[in-house]
Amino acid sequence: MRSFFKVINIVLVVMIIFLIGFMVGKKYDFAFDENKDIVGLQYSDNEQKIRRLVSLIDNEYVNDVNSDSLVDDAIHYMVAKLDPHSTYIDKASVQKAEEQLKGEFVGIGIQFRTMNDTIVVERTLPGTKNYGKLEFGDQLVAADNQSLVAKDNKTIEGLLKGKKGSEVKLSVIRDQKPISVTLNRTIVPIPTVTGKHMLTKDIGYLKLTRFSENSANEVHEGLQNLLDQGMKTLVFDLRGNPGGIMHIAEEIADEFLTKNELIVYTQDKQKRKKYIYATNRGLFEQGKIYVLMDENSASSSEIVAGALQDYGRGIIVGRRSFGKGLVQREISLGDGTKVRLTVANYYTPSGRSIQKPFDKKTAKYSDDLYKRLKSGELYSKDSIKINKDLEFTAPSGKKVYGGGGIIPDEFVALDTNSVSNWLYYNQDANYFNDFLFKKIYSIHDFFMFHNEAIYLKYFSAGMYRNEFLGVLGIPSNEFNPVFSTTVDNYMKATIAGTLYGSRAFYQVWMPEDEMIKRIFELEKITK
């Protein structure tokens, strides 16, 4: 009898614990962020209201509807009302977002373009098992016996991508002969350091396109490579860099600051502050630094540039940066979707926030670039509006300003009369690139195209100049020959980018870059 009551008591205790857990579970929960850290959740009556509404729509609404789609739309709307940088990432977008943050994807690792409905290989990407198995000019006609001809990019991606370790058998036409090539689907790195070379015997150049998981390692390796070549001055190019992972920005800033110097601090909803300090592990804590920025340099780019400017470690060259001073945390919603939620503000060592004003109307917020163009700010430093109420004294003693991006120490205008700028920023650049690709494809077995060092040293694109001027709509007899070198360098750089990647493009193009020219002027002044 005692054992019977003992069993009953155990059952009752278990049921009570279960009921308490169930009731508590309706009010409390947890999720995981991008670092697999736990995020505590506490549900409100509003959550119960939404849950009931979805249930009513599913079970009582007169017509059949896709409630998943309705919920997605509702979450998109709610999150968009918070601030311009909080975003909802639906299932279809999660993979692409993760690839950007990780700096890698699973695929076969090729760069290609479509010509006459046929995929033509530009190059295989270094760092994969498939490197060198396909050649420039190869035509891909089928993957595992499924045609690749006249397919859209989404279909092509679906046929070429797949599970890590799987194989894909490609039907290829090489030099007008059909061959078969089997490739492994493997992890393909997406380099974020896309420029790394010496501008002079003393000045090194490093371009970072975003802050992904491997970016700190890439920058560290790049710095070491340049130091091994004798670098004494660094040009760190953050133009067009939209940001990324915040702790990666902290690690990169640590390469340039000395131990115990404040890199950045954040403040959350509860006014709690978190301070991040430099260590003594930096590779370039003493050398001279120029940081290139423009109106599209944002977030993590501004964390690095702000810290270097505040300590007088870096000279900011270019135009006022974007102005994003908010910190997002990416949190899983449990069904394969995620929310990137603003959880804090960040501040540079001087205490300034570089977040530009917003009133939760993202249309107004996104019009900022148009306003800068209209005000003349991109053409004249005097047109930059400074809020004197947001003046701060940096640790270096320099006066700096908050309230909307980082103001450069050395302004470089967007010169509309510059031929190099006209070519580089031209909205018809893809049309120009197609013309040049067809030219080199017609002689794709030319020996210089298969040896980067020889190409960079000896190739001249001048033989295409007259035809290229025709593409630009410029009669050759009206062309000023003083611009011949600029046009030829643009063509050579574009072809280099096709054959060898962005790093080669920037190596060729740097002599024409207006901000690089300004740095050379500054170097002459300081010597």
Considering the candidates 138, 310, 368, 513, report the single residue annotated as catalytic. 310
Task: Name the DSSP letter for residue 406.
Answer: P
Instruction: Report the DSSP beta bridge partners of residue 315.
Output: 290
- The three-state DSSP-derived secondary structure of 366-382 is HCHHHHHHHHCCCCCHH
Closest CA to 39 of 402, 361, 331: 331
Using alpha carbons, select from 393, 309, 403, 302 the residue that is nearest to residue 350.
393
Q: Are 138 and 183 in contact (CB under 8 A)?
A: no
324 given a catalytic annotation: yes
Q: Distance from CA of residue 111 to its chain's centroid?
A: 18
Cβ atoms 30, 39 nearer than 8 A:
yes
User: Could you say which of 299, 301, 350, 353 is catalytic?
Assistant: 299
Query: How far, CA to CA in Å, does 461 sit from each of 34, 170, 368, 495?
Result: 46, 33, 39, 9
Place of tokens 């990019």: 153
Whole-angstrom Cα distance, residue 259 to residue 448?
48
Catalytic residue among 133, 207, 324, 356: 324
Q: What gap in Å lies between CA 483 and CA 462, rounded to an integer?
A: 12
Tokens standing for 359?
A: 């009133």
Contact of 39 with 331, CB cutoff 8 Å: yes
Token readout for 523 is 């170097």
Strand 391-393 vs strand 139-143: parallel, antiparallel, or unpaired?
A: unpaired
Alpha carbons 206 and 328: distance in angstroms, whole number: 27
- Please state whether 412 falls in left (phi above 0), alpha (psi between -120 and 50) or beta: beta
The angle subtended at Cα 210 by Cα 92 and Cα 31, nearest 5°, is 45
Catalytic residue positions? 299, 310, 324
